[in-house]
Structure 1
Amino acid sequence: MTIKRLVLIVLTIFAIARIGLSLVESWGQPQIQTNLELRQTNLVLHGWEWQKTTSDSATSEQSNQESKVDWTVARNALIGAEPFQSAQKQYETARQLAQTNQSKVLTKLQKFSIGKVTTPKDGAPSQSPATPLTQNAYPSEQQQLQESLSDIEQLIARLDLRIGILQAQQGKTDAAIETWDAKTYPNGSLETAGVLMGLWSEPPLVLPDAEEKIEQNLDNWFRYRALSQLYQVQQRQSDLLSLQTQEQETAEQAIVKLFVIAVIPGFNTLLGLIILVCLVAQLLFQGKQSLIATNHNVPWKTAWDGEIIWQVLIFGFFAIGQLLLPLLIGLSLGIVGINPANFTVQMSAFYVLLTYLIMAF
């Protein structure tokens, strides 16, 4: 056995062990659900508000009545007839996942505290209140868990605000108020929950700075619904019309995006089937002259064997791509004062993409 092969075997064992441990660690690592995974749901909600109109005149509106119905049918076929129920289920699923992650983080944080066993006068051992191991024990990991816990709590608050609006949109006002009420939220979300409860109460109650709180803590379709309710309660017709115009523009953009999302996979599948049928038909009618049969008797030869593939995977992909390159990128970012741990989901995705692009070149 050569030294090269011995080194390759050792690196292979190390690679398998490291990847296995990483998978096990990631399995128990709390994953924070983000708005990135709910963007398509938000697009569907925007698209539901879309109304195809071409003119404000009564004559044009009457002449295009049938086309409006057709556009409504097309919209329903694209996004479904009951988008609010579907969206509520998806947001509730996201909330359940966030609660599960919250429990995982709390369990991990408890490991940083221990209880002292004391023996009272009656002789029965008892557990004293948990005390920190040391003031600086595992500071980085503990701080990261605390930040994750704070992020999850804020996420749960944002999800509750949106679930309540979805319930109110379906006429379940009591359920919406119950969702917003009696919750321990961060300050901004707590104030926004109070604003929403007031707007959907009977009679409505507009709290101070209601519009500002809505603008700060709500976005997308949920912001439009809350502002629409606020303007209706305050009877601000001009602002309501302006908001509806803005919402129609956003809804039209959402319809286009949803159409692209729905059409491109189907178009690619159809194109692939057409190409496959054409190639098979050409093979049946032209035989050896067809494109598929070209060079069918010529064996495919490669200039490398299995050991070369083994070396490329271990030295190229693992050693350079998974160890050396991330280390160099991390050191480079550290020099300029950038911490990847503080990246948002979009920034993290771009960071991973950039890593693979650098490895490819």
Structure 2
Amino acid sequence: MSLKRLVLAALSVLVAALITVSLVGSYLEPQTQGQINLLQTDLSLQAREWQGLGDATTRDRLVGNVQGAITAYEEVLATPTPQNQPLRLQLGLLYAEAGQRDRALDTWQRLINEAQGATRRTVEVLLGLWADPPQLLPEAEPLIKNALQGWFRDRALKRLYELQQRPDALTALLSAEQDRAQAAFYRLVLIGTTPLLGSLIGIALWIVWLYQHLRRRHQGNTLPPLTAVAWGWETLWAGMVIWFALFFAVSLLLMPLVRSLIGVVLPLRSAIAQTLYALVNYGMIMAAGLGWLWYCLRPFGKRPADWLCWQGGLGGAVRWGVGGYLAALPLVLLSSLISQALLKNQGGGNPLLEIILQSRDYTTFALLYVMVAMMAPFFEEILFRGFFFRSVQSYLPLGTAMGMTGLLFAIAHLNLADLLPLTVLGTVLSYIYWRSQNIGAAMILHSLWNSGSFLGLLLLSGGTEAGF
């Protein structure tokens, strides 16, 4: 065996070990989907206050009730950690709203022994508000406004204003709450109906495509695969293994070193600081990956335009990209439900979701959107569809090549929670690339998928205070 192959074999073992450790480690982390589900629960609680929906029974039937919200919170909080202290704070308010005052006080009393700073003072405020007799602390109102949001803030402020006998403040609060509740209901409808309608269209597209496939097969006029590549298995092996090695080198060595140096001057605690760090990290991974691909394929005299495929131009890319997005919806949503059921709220998630959920300003949103909806689709489609899929489909059956590409695409995201859904999405991306013979179609599909997920999170979390 040559020295080059020995080095590649050693790197392959190292990369496989790092991937395995990352995937196994992600199983020990709670799914980000659990937090997303709680955001939808919070939105439902806010919408439930809109009196335009009818009486309390009708509202409970349409958007859910407090007891359902309690169950959702208890499932996520089955294993208390310091990171979910705000959720336990909110669970106590749910108990109080449901008339379970003793459980609320017990929840807050246990929390006060662990919490510090503003969280501890807020717990003290809530304990005072629901104590018998009530005790009103001087900082109650600003603490509630700073520590709580949405429905939970309204519940605490309502209790405070009632005890303080401030009818004007209570009237203004209830009026503003109705406006927020109406907006929350409309957001809830949009979040619930858009994927459903898109999925129905996607199912229809699959029926049409299946009919076309069977008709071509009957006529002996099946679609050919993409043109074969000029390089062999060893080039593919080197290309992917060294890219993964560069990915881990940047993520685990270079950027942590940079972060430690920057952290002396600028601690990365705010959402904007974390966003800038993630943007630089991904930018370096992208530059390293594209540079390595160029170097790897240079001996074959191929420019990117010569092997990426761009048949049909922009019009074809848009048509297949949009169609592919709708076709992916029902399959990925179904696989997500299966994954959640199998993993029982374990398996980790994309760390960018945490930043998106914590963000409250347009600058952070804009930078995150550039990364998830422009940079990621551009680079990842070149790597996984343009290079990897084009390579393996030259030597393997088409369906096998699509599935293998989808699996590697999912593995590269390094969390078990997304493994099944991203395998399905990656397989659909490969299918659309093959059908359209246009890398732009895969990029547009990928961008639409990330954009839809991004905007859905903004609708759930409320975006900026001024914007939503």
Q: TM-score range by the shorter chain?
A: 0.5 to 0.7
What secondary structure, in the 3-state scheme, does the structure 1 residue paired with 2:158 have?
A: helix
What is residue 46 of structure 1 aligned with on the other side? 46
1:137-152 counterparts in 2 under 5 A?
152=82
Which residue in the other structure is 1:96 paired with?
78
User: 2:195 is matched with which residue: 265, 268, 276?
Assistant: 265
Structure 1 residue 36 displacement after superposition: 6.5
For the pair shown, which has the larger CA radius of gyration, 1 or 2?
1
- Give 2:90's aligned residue: 162
**Which residue among 245, 248, 256 is the counterpart of 1:322?**
248
Deviation (angstroms), 1:223: 1.1
| Cα contact 2:268–2:274 (8 A) shared by 1 | no
Structure 2 vs 1, CA of residues 346 and 170 (structure 1 numbering), >3 Å: closer, same or farther? farther
What is the distance in 2 between the residues matched to 1:259 and 1:195? 35
Shift of 1:178: 2.8
Residue 59 (structure 1) aligns with: none
Matching residue of 1:7:
7
Deviates more, 1:191-200 or 1:340-349: 340-349
Deviation at 1:330, TM superposition (A): 4.1
Which residue identity does 2:191 align to in structure 1? I
Aligned to 1:181: 109
CA deviations on 1:79-138 (whole Å, 9 max, x unpaired) are 32x2x2222223233333234xxxxxxxxxxxxxxxxxxxxxxxxxxxxxxxxxxxxxxx
TM-score (norm. length: structure 1): 0.64
Counterpart in the other structure of 1:308:
235
Structure (1 or 2) with the greater helix fraction: 2
Deviations 1:305-361 (A, max 9, x none): 433332221012x12222146544445545544799844678657755664455345
Counterpart Cα distance in 1 of 2:154 and 2:132: 21
d(CA) in 2 for partners of 1:324, 1:203: 58
In structure 1, what is the Cα distance between the partners aligned to 2:239 and 2:166? 67
The alpha carbon displacement at 1:71 in A equals: 12
Q: Is the 8 A contact 1:36 1:345 kept in 2?
A: no
Unpaired runs of 5+ in structure 1? 53-67, 100-151
What is the total number of aligned residue pairs between the two structures? 284
Q: Residues of 2 paired with 1:346 and 1:242: CA distance?
A: 33
Paired residue secondary structure (1:208): coil
**Contact kept? 2:213, 2:222, Cα under 8 Å:** no
The alpha-carbon distance between structure 1 residues 219 and 29, as it changes in their structure 2 partners (threshold 3 A), is: closer
Contact kept? 2:105, 2:127, Cα under 8 Å = yes
CA contact (8 A) 1:333 1:339 kept: no
For residues 77 and 11 of structure 1, the distance between their equivalents in structure 2, rounded to whole angstroms, comes to: 57
Write the letter of the residue equivalent to 1:48.
R
Identical pairs, percent: 34
The partner residue of 1:276 within 180, 194, 206 is 206
> Cα 1:358–1:49, aligned 2, differ >3 Å: closer, same or farther?
farther
What letter matches 2:46 in structure 1?
H
Distance 2:62 2:271 in 1: 28
Output the CA distance in 2 between the equivalents of 1:322 and 1:3. Answer: 22
Partner amino acid, structure 2, of 1:307 = E
